[in-house]
Amino acid sequence: MKVLVLNGPNLNMLGIREPEIYGAQTYKDLENLIYEYGHANQIQVEIFQSNHEGALVDRIQQAYHTVDAIIINPAAYTHTSVAILDALKAVSLPAVEVHLSDVSSREAFRQVSYAGMACEKTMMGQGFDGYLQALAYLKEKYGK
């Protein structure tokens, strides 16, 4: 099974940006955790992060016929990007949305997730473990 893990803007700043919300672990720590879990569970993982909406849309489109599923943390684009929603719908791959924090208990503007409308499941408020839960869910449901 091959899974594309997409991360949106500012996730590359983990460990620096608002550690009281996002924790002290770095983006490299997150990547290592995901790769280790994938290796241990026979999941080929590709991780891509961008601060640019178009780059995320391009990578989603490139996933068509090249991966089995997508895990996406669109970060700030969660609440603004119809383009990411449309790209996810276009490729019609199983997708899981992940958020490190519990966005449902945060600011009012964070209550709508456009990307989530194209995802079959959302993991939120579990920190880095949300990515592992998403991988486990996809492996159980779609694993080869």
Residues catalogued as catalytic: 22, 99
What length is written for the chain? 144
**What is the DSSP annotation of the chain?**
-EEEEEE-TTGGGTTTS-HHHH-S--HHHHHHHHHHHHHHTT-EEEEEE-S-HHHHHHHHHHTTTT-SEEEEE-GGGGGT-HHHHHHHHHHT--EEEEESS-GGGS-GGGS--TGGGG-SEEEESSTTHHHHHHHHHHHHHH--
Residues contacting residue 107 through CB under 8 Å, at least 6 positions apart? none
- Distance in angstroms between the alpha carbons of the first and the last residue of the chain: 6
